[in-house]
Structure 1
Amino acid sequence: MLRPKYRQRWIICIVLLFLIAILPQTVAGQGNTVTVPDVTGMSVPQAAAILNRAGLRLGAEDNLGWTPDSGLPQDSISGQSPPAGERVETGATVDVQVLRSNNVVLIYDDNDLTLVNQSGDRIRLEGIVLRAIDGTQEAFFTATRWNRRLDPGDCAQVWSVSRREPKRIDECTESIFWTSTTNPAAHFWTGAHNATQFSITQNGVERGICPVANPGRCELFLETRGRNNSTPFVYFAYTPDQLIVRNISDDQWMLLNNVQIINNAPSVAGSTFEFGDPDVFGNPDTIGRINQLAPGQCLLYTNGGPNTGTPPQPCDLVARLDLDPSVNFWAQEFGVDSTTDNQPHTCPAATPDKLTVCIMPR
């Protein structure tokens, strides 16, 4: 939880509007064709890095139940579309089939929906959003309205009508975290406003699409604590003129959602901003994902000076942001508010003629 003096996100937003020149790396060369690489046997983050490097985007992830006879490790890619070797236009998406079994079930009717954790492991609810994907009005629900996590056998339940207690169902063997809301903007599963389907995303990745039904049942896969393919840290490397956020792992994502910088620059001291938010970069049309870096990828921030052409370490650049020197956050020590331990951490100021590396909990 951010400390009160850091809850000043609006300050940095104003500064960004007036003082930042945005120079993102955008999709180039559309109309050209490239050869689709073979990503069979790779983890999804590894595949994303290879595809992005070729000028292609990672598309949908389709789950295929893993067994010891699958011939490939669990959580690896067993198929892709378009297939390897095919020529496609730059910027095209490649869908992948991943060897992993469903571990969550949604049970619902027109009044209530229950999410059951059948994984045998803890599921963190940060970054999970349930959303109607058609209909005439938007409706969505963020899973942290239930709790921060679900342990094995726990359930999360939401009602579209007033309720004094949760509904008991056989699949819920442990705690039930529940809420009710009469706000139709949260009724993603009820079919309101002619919606016929809803989706479940986790950290920006679509995990499943379920039909609106009364009653309905839908199974899908969510990442768990023991099968988490993201780094537990954020990596910064910087000189006085520029800073990169870099994914140094070989096979994991670096997730940047909700991780905030505490900027101690005198003009905005104590303000915060989500440094991996695509909005900060102006939502450019990039091949990679700004808030979800694949192995080897980076974001570049500069002070707009002349010595900012090359990142301070080799990396696959996803987006660049040139800051006005008055809001250059690494010119002095800066804070990082972690989403994993809810504690503020501090990185040192840049040192002249030296490279500084700071690794903090994500």
Structure 2
Amino acid sequence: MNQPKEAVQPVQDIEQKKKDRAWAAWLIILCGGGLLVLLMAFSITKGAAGIPLSSVWDALFRFDAENTRQLIVVDLRLPRVIASALVGAAFAVAGAIMQGTTRNPMADSGLLGLNAGAGFALSICFAFFPGMGYMQIILFSFSGSALGAGLVNGIASRRRGGATPMRLVLAGAAVSALLAAFSQGIALYFAVAQDLMFWTAGGMAGSNWEQIKIMTPWILAALLGAIALSRSISLLSLGEDVAKGLGLNTAIVNALCSLIVLILAGASVSVVGAVGFVGLIIPHLARSLVGVDYRWIIPSSAVLGALLMVAADLGARMLNPPFETPIGVLTALVGVPFFLYLSRKQKRAL
């Protein structure tokens, strides 16, 4: 028995839309990846001392330790742009996972206490364990991020109705302010304010090969884990009851997603500091381009987040040379209006 045309056409439209979204995702991943390489190369040439692309090429493939320009490229600027790309991808994917699993359009590691928690842990690290290696600093950041997330979720869940998006944001603002105050108090009392100021303002100036060597396996493993869980995150974004009805073990998926977010946020804050709004803006941009399927949102967010952070780091060096503008300021200039727009939209939906 043939189906009516009215029933077949919507199905065909849905399938065509899925194909279009998939093509858009591949376009972002491939073209965005190529653009990222070009932007990284361009970023290496800019700074207090201008370096031509030919010197960058020579530094990569015919390195001469006696050449000052090539030393600047290899020791300073190359690790900086690589760290920027990794951190941008990590923040963006962490935000995408949080928005998908909590169904909170305003979820972001900075807004929900993870960045402030990591900063608090770092202040303790600098005050009581000076000279600690970078691997231990990352572990402190993980524990601080977990503390911040636990406090925010615990406070937001105490009222009847559970942790609604607005309650999470309000709890996140309160916990972030409290942990930031504790961090500053510790920094002033134990005279480590100068050490902590870099993480407070946010910036890539201190990036080096040792940091990249340690953080890269963590971030790449977490990104691959996010991609592996992307289908489950899509189901969770429909609601926990729907996901359970479709056979998803939501407890395990939520636990794995939380672990991945803690790794991504903790590793990123330990390098770049308290940079917010990347995980808020990028997933929304990716969702508008590739649809609601997290199998496409997560890799697209990784590419777009890397592009944003490399561009922000470039802007930080070029706005007021030879001084640097904190990256957190640049991301906030875009992120705060976007957050206000989302808040207004969320209020209208209530």
- TM-score normalized by the length of structure 2: 0.20
Higher strand share: 1
Higher helix share: 2
Structure with more contact order per residue of length (Cα contacts < 8 Å, sep ≥ 6): 2
